[in-house]
Amino acid sequence: MMRTNPFMKPYTTVTILFLALSMLQSCNNKAKTSEATTAIDSSAVHFTDEKHLSNVRQLTFGGENAEAYWSFNDQYLSFQHTDKPHGLICDQIFLMNVADTSRVMESTGKGRTTCAYFLPGDTQVLYASTHLSGDSCPAEPPHVHGKYLWSIYGEYEIFVADLKGNIVKQLTKNKFYDAEATVSPKGDKIIFTSDRSGDLELYTMNLDGSNVKQITNELGYDGGACFSPDGSQIIWRASHFDADSERIEYKDNLKKHLVSPMKMELFIANADGSNRRQLTTLGGANWAPCFDQTGKKVLFSTNHKTKSIPFNIYSINTDGTNLEQITFDKVFDAFAMFSYDGKKLAWCSNRNNGGTRETNIFVADWKE
């Protein structure tokens, strides 16, 4: 899930960390929007050590853009966009044509939205939104000295909309947090995170919202899941505990509808939650995982080297071997997703933002 950055310049280490972690979290207005473009310094969009990336393109310029997910035909990206200086106060969902970067608002323009994902056929998109509970953005979480917390908005429900922004179905309807939904490439299941059990767990359901099943059951935050290319496995981020004090703090935060994302590792399992195992033991925040097209490698974002800034994208085999750094930004790279044909990688980055708080979407050809 993503939120905008409430801090003003200049950056401090704490400010930058807050910005980076805020990217984790992890339609009446359907007119096309335009955005200013700027001259691109090639050395600022593609760093020398990024050997797996070529023909890097910057697709957005301005605001905060995150969680860019490919359509099944690899022609479009769905993503979250916030641009406070231009009146877009909290995240709304946009669809972009990758070829010409034209875009249109997909969500209602009301409330807060997150995690948009194309359904098979590319004629519909699902996303979570708070708009039924009010037109305005829900309140930001309180600032706690030395800590970063996400709000777990019970107002989030999961909706399906057509490509003109018309909501055609509401998949969840309750007072609990329902968000972070992604779709199996097989086209049969949706996986999402909910606190309906009293804890933040993973659930699956059919594309029409039926047959909801809880597939994790260990205390702690389980979220941000995605499926392998054949739909047989899932990968997700989880925040579990080494000490009683951590468990107590987690429970106390959850009672206040808050969660800390500062300590997360990756877990992998069969699509029904069986055969669960921990994939990373790196420390820090490891999150936003996605499989490559072989299903044998995972890309993810991590700050394990510093436990602070920067966040960069790494790859790791699904057997836990061959950890490799993919991006080399000095601040923030995350939300990597391969196109369905495996030829391109989209991700979100603070590179080439002129020292501002802007986070933009980039796409590159992938080289093994």
Domain-wise residue ranges, the chain: 13-366
The mean pLDDT value for 113-137 works out to: 97
Total Cβ atoms within 10 A of residue 328: 15
Q: What is the DSSP letter of 187?
A: S
- Whether the Cβ atoms of residue 32 and residue 307 lie closer than 8 Å to each other: no
Q: What is residue 139's predicted lDDT score, i.e. its pLDDT?
A: 87
Considering the domain 13-366 in this protein, what is its CATH number?
2.120.10.30
Q: What is residue 142's predicted lDDT score, i.e. its pLDDT?
A: 74
Q: Is the pLDDT of residue 78 over 50?
A: yes
- Whether the Cβ atoms of residue 258 and residue 151 lie closer than 8 Å to each other: yes
> Where is average pLDDT lowest: 7-21, 43-57, 121-135, 285-299?
7-21
How far is it, in rounded angstroms, from Cα 279 to Cα 319?
Answer: 7
Total residues found in the chain within this entry: 368
Q: Is the pLDDT of residue 113 over 70?
A: yes
Question: With the CA atoms of 229, 269, 299 and 350 taken in that order, what torsion angle do they form, in degrees rounded to the nearest 10?
Answer: 110
The C-alpha angle 131, 301, 142, rounded to 5 degrees, equals 45
Q: Is the pLDDT of residue 24 over 90?
A: no
Both tokens of 349, joined, read 């980055």
Q: Is the pLDDT of residue 206 over 90?
A: yes
How far is it, in rounded angstroms, from Cα 343 to Cα 78?
Answer: 18
Q: What is residue 40's predicted lDDT score, i.e. its pLDDT?
A: 58
pLDDT in tens, 303-332: 999 999 999 999 999 999 999 999 999 999
Q: Is the pLDDT of residue 42 over 90?
A: no
Label residue 34 by pLDDT band (50, 70, 90): very low
Q: What is the DSSP letter of 229?
A: T
Single out the residue of 22, 11, 161 nearest to residue 82, CA to CA: 22
Q: Is the dihedral of CA 168, 174, 178, 183 positive or negative?
A: negative
Label residue 4 by pLDDT band (50, 70, 90): very low
Q: Is the pLDDT of residue 176 over 60?
A: yes
Q: What is residue 359's predicted lDDT score, i.e. its pLDDT?
A: 97
- Whether the Cβ atoms of residue 353 and residue 359 lie closer than 8 Å to each other: yes
- Whether the Cβ atoms of residue 15 and residue 6 lie closer than 8 Å to each other: no
Q: Is the pLDDT of residue 18 over 90?
A: no
The helix (H) or strand (E) run that includes residue 289 is strand 286-291
69, with CB counted inside 10 A (0-12, 13-18, 19+), is buried
Single out the residue of 132, 126, 171 nearest to residue 155, CA to CA: 132
Q: Is the pLDDT of residue 98 over 70?
A: yes
The mean pLDDT value for 353-358 works out to: 92
By three-state DSSP, how is residue 253 classified? helix
pTM, two decimal places:
0.90
User: CB within 8 A of 174, min separation 6: which ones?
Assistant: 157, 196
Rg of the chain on CA atoms, in Å: 19
Sheet holding 113-118, edge to edge: 113-118, 124-129, 157-162, 167-170
Phi-psi label, residue 84: left if phi above 0, alpha if psi -120 to 50, beta otherwise: alpha
How far is it, in rounded angstroms, from Cα 230 to Cα 342?
Answer: 13
Total Cβ atoms within 10 A of residue 245: 9
> Where is average pLDDT lowest: 31-35, 65-69, 130-134, 283-287?
31-35
How far is it, in rounded angstroms, from Cα 335 to Cα 224?
Answer: 10
Q: What is residue 144's predicted lDDT score, i.e. its pLDDT?
A: 72
Share of the chain above pLDDT 90, in %: 83
Half-sphere exposure of 149 (CA within 13 A, CB side): 22
167, with CB counted inside 10 A (0-12, 13-18, 19+), is middle
Label residue 141 by pLDDT band (50, 70, 90): confident
